[in-house]
Amino acid sequence: MSSGSCQLATGRRAATGSIVALLLSWTVTAVAVAQPDSIFVHCRVFHDLDEDGVRQGGEPGIADVRFTNGVEVLATDALGELDVWVDRALYRFATMTIPAGYWPTTDWYHWVPVGTAGPDTVDFGLRTNPATATDPVHWVHITDTQIKTWGQGHLDDDLLEINELAVPPSFLINTGDIVQVGSDSTHWNNYVSQLAASDFPVLHVVGNHDTLGTSTPMAYYELYVGPPYYSVEVGSWHMMIHNNENAAVGTPGPRVVVG
The answer to whether position 44 is within a domain reads yes
Q: N- to C-terminal Cα distance for the chain?
A: 32
Whether 231 and 31 have beta carbons less than 8 Å apart is answered as: no
Confidence of residue 9 (pLDDT cuts 50, 70, 90): low
Q: For 124-151, b where at least 16 C-beta lie within 10 A, e where not — what string?
A: bbbbebebbeeeebebbebbebbbeeee
Answer whether residue 149 shows pLDDT above 90: no
Confidence of residue 154 (pLDDT cuts 50, 70, 90): confident
Confidence of residue 91 (pLDDT cuts 50, 70, 90): confident
The helix or strand, by DSSP H or E, that contains position 29, with its residue range, turns out to be: none
Determine the distance from the C-alpha atom of residue 143 to the mean position of all C-alpha atoms in its chain, rounded to a whole number: 16
Range of the domain at 48: 6-13+38-243
The answer to whether position 133 is within a domain reads yes
- Share in percent of the chain as helix, strand, coil (round to 5): 15, 30, 55
Whether 198 and 168 have beta carbons less than 8 Å apart is answered as: no
Confidence of residue 151 (pLDDT cuts 50, 70, 90): low
Whether 125 and 55 have beta carbons less than 8 Å apart is answered as: yes
The answer to whether position 112 is within a domain reads yes
With the C-alpha atoms ordered 2, 204, 154, 190, is the resulting torsion angle positive or negative? negative
Q: Which three-class secondary structure state does DSSP give residue 192? A: helix
Share of the chain above pLDDT 90, in %: 63
Domain count, the chain: 1
- CATH code for position 222: 3.60.21.40
The answer to whether position 207 is within a domain reads yes
The answer to whether position 180 is within a domain reads yes
The answer to whether position 138 is within a domain reads yes
Cis ω before 99 (30° cut-off from 0): no
Q: pLDDT tens digits, residue range 25-43?
A: 333 344 444 456 788 999 9
Q: pLDDT tens digits, residue range 182-230?
A: 999 999 999 999 999 999 999 999 999 998 877 777 889 999 999 998 9
d(CA 254, CA 21): 18
The answer to whether position 150 is within a domain reads yes
Predicted TM-score (pTM) of the model is 0.82
The answer to whether position 198 is within a domain reads yes
d(CA 163, CA 168): 7
- The residue length of the chain stands at 259
d(CA 208, CA 4): 8
User: Which residues are registered as beta bridge partners of 171?
Assistant: 139
